[in-house]
């Protein structure tokens, strides 16, 4: 009887293991679940988890809308990293139903029941029809408001997850150090410290702050790893030629901080090469640094077609499959899409060309993230929840607040702004960017939101008459969809001359002018082919916009210039001649409402530049944290930037004083407290962004003339003074030494505080 009972117990345990395997037990650790699942997988099932499955078969859906697999049932039986169902465009509710149907099929019909990822973009909000479009990344960076950024991406995560999305390909942590590059708008700043802090806020918003995600958050993908933001000549995917010390100190720093401090679960390799090795096949970058040094436990994915680029453009592999082999051995785990560089992995593992250990590592990393995302516990979503949260009133209010905080007042002669509504009966709104909404790249077409013209008209109501003239064409292609594979077509002189004449007549009939100029999504964008260019060889206003500006300013009317753009523009003439200039970037769906609030004084502008604005491309690179030896001035030119990093005016004025440093001498591992008094000396309640910089006075290796190390956004009433405090710690003083290890060198450090990188109070800290 005992033997019979023992046998039955063994059978029971075996049956239970088959029907209720350990990997489906949520009470176990993620690593335990991963190992249990991995040991059950065939070679084909492992490779399937590293690729996307694209269903093009219209018969894969039955009359009730259930996913059946269709002609590809035998393939999808092995599972998939993600399933794309190609078909006619569907409304959001239908998209949710389809996503649930795919997950149900994978869970119930594939052998192991592994659910699928669902990817989406979320550069400045979840990119999908009807979702909330927040200000573009460069505008979000200009808020210097980490709490706000976390709220923005919490909203984006909720909208994405409610539609079944479990991973977003955001945020971008590249440094905006090459403004000719068309993807500058996707970056937060030129400064590594600021990018790291804004980036952490974005990750906390998207993923949450818990180790295991709930059903309101999504896995992030940090991109593009690394150095993508400063390509040679400003040309997309071109090499980055920087020493390891420069690369680690600047381009790798934001990724390192977000990996270590914000638990980022995924990272995307960049198209470019560093030190002659394409990043998709760079073992030093993807394994030695990312995993072995930083302890990254998530998975590395290719960029779209990124492994193809290794073969086609870098000429570093002899075939697509060879590019796949080199990539997985280097440390890349997942093929986002392209020409199928991982399709030969089964054969490559069997033949020994790809080690089994490399394949298992990649599968472990992908599965670990699927468990971390809560996919096994929360595979389905509710369409009612999706409709309730998508672009809801609280998200619209958040988009408006972000747009208000992002606007940067660059110039305001004779208090041109804010406008006095009692003195304006006729207001002219002129310019090619005035009547259309411009949201920037990674926006779901067609773009929807409130344009500058609409927002001003809504505000004006019956208070004033709003006149409009286009002024000139920016591009003749009116479809400013960043996805369109066509290059901008510019207007001829005769066409624009007529429009400029009409605009001048409108301006003369007005009491003041709002001139809305800059760029659009065809001029500044990701350049992925010769039919889809986005990088420029100069930063001047495109087309005949400067001619328009000169004609409008010649009328003598008070003119406020609004710049709508994705990269810094060299507006030398406007910097001298225009009474007021506001840098808006792309402000999101609430553009017009935010612009009206700032122009008419409901809100005082508080944004600050996160990039340096140069006078010409001849100054590039032009970032503020340059080395001491870059001090020579150009002949026949002003070598200073148009506006420095951290700059931004307000409708009020601020006075900095009483900079204190306690103690003034510390050991290398010590701390010092910095305090500075900030007083609102004007008439408006307003926010100010207080910035802290350091400078290692004597250093080898050499260090920049100043480095941002902290910041704080404060709000002050007229006449109010606040004391802002910062803490200097060793991590804010350290740098890579001669042995490429971080250290704090003894000596003097200048500790500087102020409202921008050029106007600073200074104290000296001695480090023993």
User: Within a 10 A sphere around the Cβ of 20, how many other Cβ atoms?
Assistant: 10
Using the Cα atoms of residue 314, residue 299, residue 221 and residue 386 in order, give the sign of their dihedral: positive
CA distances from residue 316 to 224, 330, 355 in whole angstroms, order as listed? 20, 13, 20
Is the peptide bond preceding residue 171 cis, with omega within 30 degrees of 0?
A: yes
- Beta carbons of 247 and 292 less than 8 angstroms apart: no
Rounded Cα gap, residues 177 and 569, in angstroms: 14
Is the peptide bond preceding residue 95 cis, with omega within 30 degrees of 0?
A: no
Residue 426 belongs to what H/E stretch?
Answer: strand 426-430
Which positions ≥6 away from 597 have C-beta within 8 Å? 400, 404, 459, 603
Q: What is the pairing mode between strands 665-666 and 707-716?
A: unpaired
Structure tokens given for 562: 């609004």
**For tokens 């962004």, what's the residue?**
689
**For tokens 């150095």, what's the residue?**
227
CA distances from residue 226 to 274, 279, 331 in whole angstroms, order as listed? 8, 7, 14
Go through the chain and tell me how many residues it has.
768
Which positions ≥6 away from 399 have C-beta within 8 Å? 125, 132, 133, 134, 135, 152, 588, 589, 590
Which positions ≥6 away from 164 have C-beta within 8 Å? 95, 96, 99, 100, 103, 118, 380, 381
Structure tokens given for 630: 């870059």
- Beta carbons of 188 and 194 less than 8 angstroms apart: yes
Burial environment of residue 630 by CB neighbours within 10 A (0 to 12, 13 to 18, 19 or more) = exposed
Rounded Cα gap, residues 534 and 235, in angstroms: 9
DSSP 127-172: -STT---PPPHHHHHTTT-HHHHHHHHHHHHHHHHTTT--EE---B
User: Phi and psi for 679 in degrees, rounded to 5?
Assistant: -120, 135
Looking at residue 251, what DSSP letter applies?
Answer: I
User: Within a 10 A sphere around the Cβ of 393, how many other Cβ atoms?
Assistant: 7
Structure tokens given for 745: 């060198």
**For tokens 């990817």, what's the residue?**
119
> Closest by alpha carbon to 301, among 336, 348, 331, 253?
336
- State the catalytic residues: 303
């Amino acid at each position: 009887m005992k033997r019979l009972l023992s046998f039955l117990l063994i059978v029971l345990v075996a049956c239970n293991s088959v029907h209720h395997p350990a990997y489906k037990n949520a009470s176990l650790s993620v690593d335990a679940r991963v190992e249990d699942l991995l040991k059950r997988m065939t070679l084909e099932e492992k490779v399937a988890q590293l690729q996307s499955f694209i269903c093009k078969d219209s018969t894969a859906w039955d009359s009730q809308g259930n996913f059946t697999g269709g002609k590809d049932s035998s393939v999808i039986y092995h599972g998939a990293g993600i399933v794309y169902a190609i078909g006619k465009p569907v409304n959001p509710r239908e998209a949710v139903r389809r996503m649930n149907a795919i997950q149900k099929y994978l869970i119930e019909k594939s052998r192991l029941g592994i659910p699928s990822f669902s990817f989406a973009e979320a550069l400045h909000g979840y990119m999908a029809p009807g979702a909330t479009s927040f200000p573009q990344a460069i505008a979000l960076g200009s808020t210097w408001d980490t709490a706000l950024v976390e709220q923005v991406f919490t909203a984006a995560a909720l909208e994405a997850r409610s539609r079944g999305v479990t991973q977003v390909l955001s945020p971008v942590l590249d440094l905006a150090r090459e403004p000719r590059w068309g993807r500058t708008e996707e970056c937060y700043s030129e400064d590594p410290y600021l990018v790291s802090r804004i980036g952490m806020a974005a990750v906390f918003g998207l993923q949450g702050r818990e180790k295991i995600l709930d059903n309101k958050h999504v896995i992030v993908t940090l991109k593009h790893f690394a150095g993508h933001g400063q390509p040679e000549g400003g040309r997309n995917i071109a090499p980055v030629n920087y020493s390891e010390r420069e690369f680690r100190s600047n381009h790798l720093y934001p990724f390192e901080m977000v990996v270590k401090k914000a638990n980022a679960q995924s990272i995307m390799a960049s198209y470019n090469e560093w030190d002659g090795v394409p990043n998709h096949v760079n073992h030093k970058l993807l394994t030695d640094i990312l995993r072995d040094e930083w302890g990254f436990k998530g998975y590395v994915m290719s960029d779209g077609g990124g492994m193809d680029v290794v073969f086609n453009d870098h000429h570093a592999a002899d075939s697509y499959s060879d590019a796949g082999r080199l990539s997985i051995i280097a440390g890349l785990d997942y093929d986002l899409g392209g020409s199928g560089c991982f399709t030969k992995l089964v054969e490559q593992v069997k033949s020994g060309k790809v080690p089994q250990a490399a394949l298992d590592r990649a599968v472990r990393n992908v599965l670990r993230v699927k468990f971390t995302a809560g996919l096994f516990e929360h595979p389905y979503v509710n369409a009612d929840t999706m409709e309730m949260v998508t672009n809801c009133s609280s998200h619209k209010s958040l988009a408006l607040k972000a747009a208000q905080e992002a606007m940067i007042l660059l110039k305001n002669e004779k208090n041109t702004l804010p406008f006095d509504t009692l003195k304006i009966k006729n207001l002219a709104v002129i310019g090619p960017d005035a009547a259309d909404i411009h949201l920037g790249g990674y926006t779901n077409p067609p773009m929807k939101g409130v344009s500058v013209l609409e927002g001003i008209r809504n505000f004006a109501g019956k208070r004033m008459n709003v006149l409009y003239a286009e002024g000139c064409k920016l591009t003749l292609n009116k479809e400013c969809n960043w996805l369109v594979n066509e290059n901008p077509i510019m207007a001829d002189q005769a066409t624009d001359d007529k429009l400029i004449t009409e605009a001048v007549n409108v301006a003369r009939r007005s009491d003041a002018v709002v001139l809305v100029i800059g760029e659009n999504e065809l001029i500044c964008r990701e350049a992925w082919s010769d039919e889809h260019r986005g990088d420029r060889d100069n930063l001047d206003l495109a087309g005949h916009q400067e001619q328009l500006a000169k004609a409008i300013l010649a009328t003598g009317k008070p003119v406020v210039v609004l710049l709508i753009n994705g990269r810094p523009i060299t507006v030398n003439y406007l910097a001298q001649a225009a009474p007021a200039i506001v840098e808006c970037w792309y402000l999101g769906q609430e553009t017009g409402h935010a612009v009206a609030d700032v122009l008419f004084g409901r809100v005082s502008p508080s944004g600050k530049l996160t990039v340096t604005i140069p006078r010409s491309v001849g100054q590039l690179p032009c970032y503020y944290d340059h080395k001491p030896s870059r001090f020579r001035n150009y002949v026949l030119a002003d070598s200073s930037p148009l506006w420095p990093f951290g700059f931004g005016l307000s409708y009020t004025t601020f006075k900095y004083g009483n900079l204190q440093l306690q103690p003034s001498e510390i050991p290398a591992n010590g701390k010092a407290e910095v305090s500075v008094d900030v007083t609102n000396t004007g008439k408006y309640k307003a926010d100010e962004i207080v910035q802290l910089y350091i400078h290692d006075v004597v250093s080898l290796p050499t260090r920049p003339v100043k480095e941002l190390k902290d910041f704080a956004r404060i709000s002050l009433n007229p006449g109010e003074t606040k004391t802002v405090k910062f803490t200097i710690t060793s991590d804010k003083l350290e740098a890579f030494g001669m042995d490429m290890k971080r250290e704090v060198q003894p000596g003097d450090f200048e500790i500087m505080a102020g409202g921008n990188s050029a106007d600073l109070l200074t104290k000296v800290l001695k480090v023993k």
